[in-house]
């Protein structure tokens, strides 16, 4: 999580869709009449029960993770709009767990840690140095948002504008 007080994530991890949720979610989407790209957000409580949070009828922040798995939702959505009969295989082409990290948001996380807790609601504030060490660990399945060695300006612009955007938001 970028801000320990609550915010968007700085890293996403791929996990298989829970079998017990596939049918109810499919039924829900059909009932809404939704056509096009979407994402369902769920949270699990400590007992493991899934709770519906929201339906996003738009591309989502963790799209980089989906694309790293071979799930080309943006291209499929365009193709579906041009050809409503088009069908796709929505199974990941990669096996195992992948992690996709947003470097700008991870840097923001460090800045939030340096600022310190702004509420007494958080009982245990994350360790700055433990977080730095964890961030420097690169695992085999890790990848970075917008990283392409043939187009580094996109990566650095994303990093820069993430930091600037959050800094300006904090000022307002």
Torsional sign, CA 150, 101, 165, 72:
positive
Render pLDDT for 12-24 as a digit per residue (tens, 0 to 9).
888 888 889 999 9
Domains observed in the chain: 12-82 (3.30.470.20), 99-171 (no CATH)
Q: Which residue has the higher pLDDT, 97 or 41?
A: 41
Distance between CA atoms of 127 and 108, rounded to whole angstroms? 14
Render pLDDT for 113-171 as a digit per residue (tens, 0 to 9).
999 888 888 888 999 999 999 888 888 778 888 888 899 999 999 999 999 998 888 67
- Does 91 have pLDDT greater than 80? no
Evaluate whether 63 touches 73 at the Cβ level (below 8 Å).
yes
Query: Which of these, 134, 96, 122, lies nearest to 13 by C-alpha position?
Result: 96
- What is the pLDDT at residue 172? 61
Helix residue ranges, H only, the chain: 19-32, 63-68, 73-82, 103-115, 128-136, 152-171
What is the DSSP-derived secondary structure letter of residue 125? P
The mean per-residue pLDDT over the stretch 40-62 comes to 88
- What is the pLDDT at residue 155? 92
The mean per-residue pLDDT over the stretch 21-40 comes to 90
Distance between CA atoms of 112 and 104, rounded to whole angstroms? 12
């Amino acid at each position: 999580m970028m801000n320990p007080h609550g915010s968007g994530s700085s890293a996403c991890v791929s996990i298989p869709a829970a079998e017990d949720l596939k049918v109810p979610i499919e039924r829900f989407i059909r009932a809404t009449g939704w056509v096009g790209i979407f994402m369902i957000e769920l949270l699990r409580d400590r007992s493991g029960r899934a709770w519906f949070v929201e339906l996003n009828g738009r591309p989502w922040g963790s799209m980089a993770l989906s694309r790293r798995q071979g799930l080309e939702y943006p291209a499929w959505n365009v193709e579906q709009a041009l050809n409503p009969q088009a069908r796709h295989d929505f199974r990941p082409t990669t096996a195992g767990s992948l992690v996709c990290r947003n470097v700008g948001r991870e840097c923001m996380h460090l800045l939030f840690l340096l600022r310190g807790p702004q509420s007494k609601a958080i009982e245990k504030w994350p360790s700055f140095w433990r977080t730095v060490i964890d961030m420097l660990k690169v695992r085999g399945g890790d990848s970075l948002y917008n990283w392409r060695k043939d187009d580094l300006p996109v990566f650095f612009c994303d990093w820069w504008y993430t930091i600037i955007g959050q800094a300006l938001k904090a000022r307002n």
